[in-house]
Amino acid sequence: MILKLFRLTFSAFLFSLLVSACFFKAQPAMVTPNNEETAILLDFLEKNGDFVNGPELPSLIGADNLFQLLDDPDFLIIDLRPKAEYAAGFIPNAVNVAPSDILDYFENQIEPETFERIVLTCPNGSLSGYVNGVLLFLGYDNVSTLRFGLSSWSIGIARQYWLSGISETLEGKLETTPSPQKVSGPLPLIATGEKNGHDILKQRAREIMDVTLKDVEMDLITVLENPDKFYLVSYWPESMYNQGHMEGSVHYEPKISLHSQQEITSLPVDKPIVLYCYSGHHTAFVAPFLRLLGYEAYNLSYGSNGFIHSTMSKDPSPTRSFSEASVRNYPVYYWREKIY
Q: What was the pLDDT predicted at 29? A: 60
* Helix-strand-coil split of the chain, %, nearest 5: 40, 15, 45
Is 66 within 8 Å of 146 (Cβ atoms)? yes
Domain boundaries, the chain: 31-316
147 has pLDDT over 80: yes
Q: Give the model's confidence band at 254: pLDDT under 50 very low, under 70 low, under 90 confident, else very high.
A: very high
pTM (predicted TM-score):
0.90
Closest-CA residue to 96 (of 115, 107, 109)? 109
How far apart are alpha carbons 202 and 41 in whole angstroms?
A: 10
Q: What is the CATH number of domain 31-316?
A: 3.40.250.10
Cβ partners under 8 Å of residue 230, min gap 6: 218, 223, 271, 272, 273, 274
Cβ partners under 8 Å of residue 245, min gap 6: 174, 175, 176, 234, 236, 251
Read off the pLDDT of residues 7-34 as tens digits, 9 standing for 90 and up: 444 454 444 544 444 444 444 467 799 9
336 has pLDDT over 60: no
Read off the pLDDT of residues 97-106 as tens digits, 9 standing for 90 and up: 999 999 999 9
